[in-house]
Amino acid sequence: MNQPTDQPMDHAHLAGVGEGTRAAHAGVPPRAPYEPPFPGPVFTSHYHLPGDPAGAPYTYGRDGNPTWTRLEEALAELESPGAPAHAVAFASGMGALSAVALSLLRPGEAVVVPADAYNLVGGVLREQLADYGIEVRAAPTAGDAQLALLDGARLLWLETPSNPGLDVCDIRRLAAAAHERGALVAVDNTLATPLGQRPLELGADLAMASGTKALTGHADLLLGYAAARDEAIAARLRLWRKTTGAVPGPMEAWLAHRSLATLELRTARQAANALAVARALRERPEVSGLRHPGLAQDPAYAVAAGQMSRFGCVVSFTLPGREFAERFLAALRLVDDATSFGGVRSSAERRGRWGGDAVPEGFIRLSVGVEDAADLVADLLRALDTAG
C-alpha cells in the first residue's frame, strides 16, 4: 500500500490553488494504480523492524503512524502553504497546548499569557506552570496589553480571537515586539482555523489549535496539533508527545483528515451565518455586550480585518440574568445546549455555568453551524420572545 514516510510529500501541484482545493487535497498521497485515493487508518502498535532501526520511517506505535503522517502533512500545508512547516498531532487540544508550554519553558523562565484565555489555559495550565517554577504574567487580549509584559520573557502566548470573549490582538505587532526581546510566539488559532488566520505568516513561531472544534467540525472526535516552521521546535514537540503518551488514535487522525476536505465549505458557511445572526441579535433589546469580530461595529473589527480572512463561527452576548438565559436555551429548537464550538450543527451555552470565565451569569457563547441562516435567526428570535 502507498505508505507515507517521514519526508514531506511533494505538494507542488497545490501551489497557487484556492483554499477549497488546498483543503480537499492537502496530505492526500500521490495517485497509485489500484490503491484507494484516500487510504484508511493504520491500526498497529508495532511494525516489522528488521536490523538497525536508525532511519526507519516507523518503529513503534507511540513514535509514529502513517495515518498521523498524512494528517500532519495536511495541517502543515494549511498552516503554511507558502513555506515548509512541520505539524505535530496530539490526542486533544490541551495535549497540544500543554506540549508547547511544557516542552519550551524551563524553571526560572517567564511566559506572557492572555488573562482572558480559554479557562483551562487561564486556570489549570497557568497554575501548573507556576508549580514548575515558571513565572506566569497575564494581561488581556484587547489593546495588545501583553506588550507591556514582554521584557525578559521566553514565550509569548496569544489567543486571538479569545474564547469566549472574542477580543482580538495584533499578531504581527506582538510577534515583532516579542522577537526583538528574544521571545518565542505561540498563537492559539482554534477559533479562526488556518483558513481564517495563519499565525505563521503573521510572524508567530507556532500555531496551535484544538482540532476537536471547527477544524474537524462534526463534534465526533478529540484532537489537537501544533505547527512550526522550525524543525527543532517540532522535534521537541514530538519528543514530548512520545514521552507523555499524548498520541492521537489512528481513527481520530483519519476522521480529522477526512473532515478537512469540507473545511472551506463549512467555515465559509458558518462565518456567513454567524454574521447574519450577529446582525439580527443587534436589534434585540434583551441582548447586550454582543461580540463578533466580523461586525463592523465590533471593537475588534479593525484589527481582525487586518489579519483574518474570515471571522469564525462564534457569537457571544449577554442576556438579562441566569434565569432568562436558561429559559432562552431551553426554548431553542435548532440550537443544542452544549459546550464546545465549531460543529456543523449550532450549539450554545450559558458559559458562566462552568465558573472558570469572568463573564456575567447571562453570558451566552453561541456556535453557529451550517443550517440556513434564516432558520437560525428565526429560532433565536423566537427563543428570545419565549424567554421574555
pTM of the model: 0.94
Chain region(s) in the chain for CATH 3.90.1150.10: 263-387
262-288 average pLDDT score:
98
> Per the residue annotation, which of 116, 188, 205, 298 is the catalytic one?
188
263-387: CATH architecture: Alpha-Beta Complex (3.90)
In this predicted model, what pLDDT tens digit does every residue of 302-348 receive, in sequence order? 999 999 999 999 999 999 999 999 999 999 999 999 999 999 999 99
Question: Is the separation of the CB atoms in 62 and 52 below 8 Å?
Answer: no
| 3-state class (DSSP) for residue 169 | coil
Active site residue 170: no
* CATH code assigned to 17-260: 3.40.640.10
In this predicted model, what pLDDT tens digit does every residue of 349-373 receive, in sequence order? 999 898 878 899 999 999 999 999 9
In this predicted model, what pLDDT tens digit does every residue of 167-186 receive, in sequence order? 999 999 999 999 999 999 99
pLDDT at 14: 79
Q: What values do phi and psi take at 26, rounded to 5?
A: -60, 130
Look up residue 202 and give its three cell numbers. 503573521
Active site residue 357: no
* Cell 435548532, located at residue: 334
Active site residue 284: no
Active site residue 118: yes
> Per the residue annotation, which of 22, 137, 213, 279 is the catalytic one?
213
pLDDT at 3: 44
Look up residue 276 and give its three cell numbers. 447574519
Look up residue 112 and give its three cell numbers. 506572557
> Per the residue annotation, which of 22, 58, 70, 118 is the catalytic one?
118
> Per the residue annotation, which of 60, 62, 301, 336 is the catalytic one?
62
CA distances from 219 to 47, 212, 334 (A): 31, 7, 16
> Above 50 in pLDDT, residue 4?
no
The residue ranking higher by pLDDT, 190 or 10, is 190
- Other Cβ atoms less than 10 A from the Cβ of 325: the count is 26
